[in-house]
Structure 1
């Protein structure tokens, strides 16, 4: 099958600088492909080459089997519609007039608009949720509304291929989602869409495939989960990142961190469960600490996060209590840790062996969120005593990840660990 878009060895230089260097990629009909990558890496240039606004120095672009460079402007505009990043417009045209410009490639030589043209304009405005703006001057609508006006213009153009350059850049969250929902509906109807999207989570949520551009080339291509990895994000953006599955959408979610100039050395063991440790793990990892985690259920969100940041992990099977083997794994990691963090976890018979083990650690950082113990205690009086002992022995901090990192820095900087001769260890702690 002929791809809807075929980019073959395209190179483009602007101002003597090579922006695209022998780029080759293709997009199948009915796909939604996102272009992601740092600013200035050629996403807009690639879109402009696909729609014929830029002629490549080398290589060729075919849309629906047609060589774009060989087509006239009118013919190309019948194949490709574009929503530009900049929606600035100097003339006070009514919104309906701007949307109607999308019908220009379909109007005959005598410039007569038909009933079909008017219906296409009305349908496009309705779909983009701007019908109420039809008679307002386009210069008087907000930036977000103007973005949707230009989307409607592209919809009215009624082409098999739609290109969007940062289509959600001026939109608030609900309109970002609405815009990409509209685009997804178009793809489900058979339209082919390529969009430059700066928000990696949105790109992963909505796009069938991604193309990661940097250094003038497509460095990774494929489904979002294969393109957005910690390694590829760090290579492209120069930022450390953890990549997990979003708990609601199930799509890839990227959390990027700028390297901490005060990055710390040290090993931290984190006691978690039920996702309570996830935000702490991200911040501790970003701060430069080497983390171990456990014991938690193998399918717990904290286990998933630990794997994403390559932390040392102790697990038990789903719904199983902590057994002697897992407890021994925790004790081993407690001995090697420079600091211990206890997330604001539920106290239950299943995880009591871990919490009992932590009582022997030196000055654990105990995270609390202000809830009464009885709201998270399912171990009765023994659970209440255990919680009280941990708080008495440890450094209590609220559940702000930054506060937890600061507390860990103080513990590590003090230089006392549970391996010091004067520290009690989990294994030798004599208390019941």
Structure 2
């Protein structure tokens, strides 16, 4: 049975290319083929026009370094010795010690991967995440123009995931070419220059993240519904999977937003099938533009105008009619404090908190008191968890 079939791609020098796709799509197989670990039944892998199969093992190892998905090691050397193994392609068979340049490369790799702090520890005594970084350091010490990474962030916490991909992006800026299988589509969209979307052993699409990560492509590749929007902070393509629930979800949701803080929330809730209202929003607000594009029920006020009694009544009506109210991660001033006060009327409340409230409170102690009450009343979640929080709130309040 063929794992990959009719796969053809060209990777330009100095690009960060992400391999994405469902489990079993062939991402790891493609990396192992590019790295000359596997020999294809047909076809050729070319490095600068030269077949990788025609290169000696030493010559290939001077061009391509690999960080495999399985980082288990069967020996018990210390971390520095493991990293120094990356210098093997440059050593004479008659001399066991690395030269001065090699030693500098090892120390530089330890430093860049933040593994120098446990460089003298046994490789068997480090955690899985630490071992992942050690194997990456070994690949950096190999000092090749091409770097192949198979799920380089799989064993890392979110902090080291970001640090690792920031490091990889820096390496690309310095001229390296990187091809990486990445499970997290949003990390891939943020960091990669180009993506190859694999499905069923073939390339379904390729190109810039915004071209590849479309709802249609994701539905075909992963057999799931997804919403593709823009991250409100980074502006990168952002994918949100919609859990299946036997058809569109039922329920009404009112969203308190403003300043672009809930555009993605509106998109996700609407795509999931909920009946969504939003407001009050000032005319010209980017959240209002999103709501209008989606055809949502909106409550509006003039730009920078305070919420008057009539508008407040309209907000309250929607809050009371909704099954759930979502209070976005908004900045609060005296003009829109009434939005939060209206949210307190909800029987089921979800409070989105991506930033501490004190960083976005411009209305003093009154706003702080209202917000504390909302936190005590509702479920406090990150923006990425709004959809599941809304579903739980509706399920618990039939």
Same fold (TM over 0.5): yes
Structural mapping, 1:32-431, within 5 Å = 32-112=16-96, 113-261=98-246, 263-264=248-249, 272-275=257-260, 277-278=262-263, 281=266, 284-285=269-270, 287-289=272-274, 291=276, 297=283, 299-301=285-287, 303-304=289-290, 311-313=294-296, 321=302, 348-349=306-307, 356-357=313-314, 363-365=320-322, 367=325, 378=335, 395-399=346-350, 400=379, 401=386, 404-405=390-391
Cα contact 1:260–1:286 (8 A) shared by 2: no
| Counterpart Cα distance in 1 of 2:328 and 2:217 | 39
| Counterpart Cα distance in 2 of 1:306 and 1:128 | 46
How far 1:46 moved relative to its partner? 0.6
How far 1:289 moved relative to its partner? 2.9
Other structure's SS at 1:53 match: coil
| Counterpart Cα distance in 2 of 1:287 and 1:256 | 10
Other structure's SS at 1:348 match: coil
How much is the aligned-residue C-alpha RMSD, in angstroms? 3.6
| Counterpart Cα distance in 1 of 2:13 and 2:49 | 11
| Counterpart Cα distance in 1 of 2:32 and 2:164 | 21
**Structure 2 unaligned regions, length at least 5:** 351-378, 380-385
Other structure's SS at 1:58 match: coil
CA offsets 1:335-388 (integer angstroms, 9 cap, x no match): xxxxxxxxxxx9934x877655566669512737699xxx66527xxx96x998
Cα contact 2:18–2:181 (8 A) shared by 1: yes
How far 1:193 moved relative to its partner? 0.5
| Counterpart Cα distance in 2 of 1:226 and 1:299 | 27
Instruction: Decide whether aligned partners of structure 1 residues 125 and 405 sit closer, same or farther in structure 2, where only a CA change above 3 A counts.
Output: closer
Instruction: Decide whether aligned partners of structure 1 residues 105 and 277 sit closer, same or farther in structure 2, where only a CA change above 3 A counts.
Output: closer
Other structure's SS at 2:22 match: coil
Other structure's SS at 1:213 match: strand
CA offsets 1:1-25 (integer angstroms, 9 cap, x no match): xxxxxxxxxxxxxxxx221110111
**Structure 1 unaligned regions, length at least 5:** 1-16, 323-345, 414-432
| Counterpart Cα distance in 1 of 2:291 and 2:225 | 14
| Counterpart Cα distance in 1 of 2:289 and 2:276 | 12
CA offsets 1:26-52 (integer angstroms, 9 cap, x no match): 111111111111111011011011111
Cα contact 2:14–2:176 (8 A) shared by 1: yes
How far 1:124 moved relative to its partner? 1.4
Instruction: Decide whether aligned partners of structure 1 residues 157 and 267 sit closer, same or farther in structure 2, where only a CA change above 3 A counts.
Output: same
Instruction: Decide whether aligned partners of structure 1 residues 115 and 278 sit closer, same or farther in structure 2, where only a CA change above 3 A counts.
Output: same
Cα contact 1:32–1:194 (8 A) shared by 2: yes
Residue aligning to 1:26: 10
| Counterpart Cα distance in 1 of 2:129 and 2:143 | 22
Q: Which has the higher contact order (CA 8 A, sep 6+)?
A: 2
| Counterpart Cα distance in 1 of 2:393 and 2:119 | 57
Instruction: Decide whether aligned partners of structure 1 residues 42 and 404 sit closer, same or farther in structure 2, where only a CA change above 3 A counts.
Output: closer
| Counterpart Cα distance in 1 of 2:200 and 2:284 | 39
Cα contact 2:67–2:150 (8 A) shared by 1: yes
Q: Which moved more, 1:297-306 or 1:113-122?
A: 297-306
Please tell me whether Structure 1 or Structure 2 has the larger radius of gyration of its CA atoms.
1
Cα contact 2:228–2:240 (8 A) shared by 1: yes
Cα contact 2:254–2:325 (8 A) shared by 1: no
How far 1:95 moved relative to its partner? 1.2
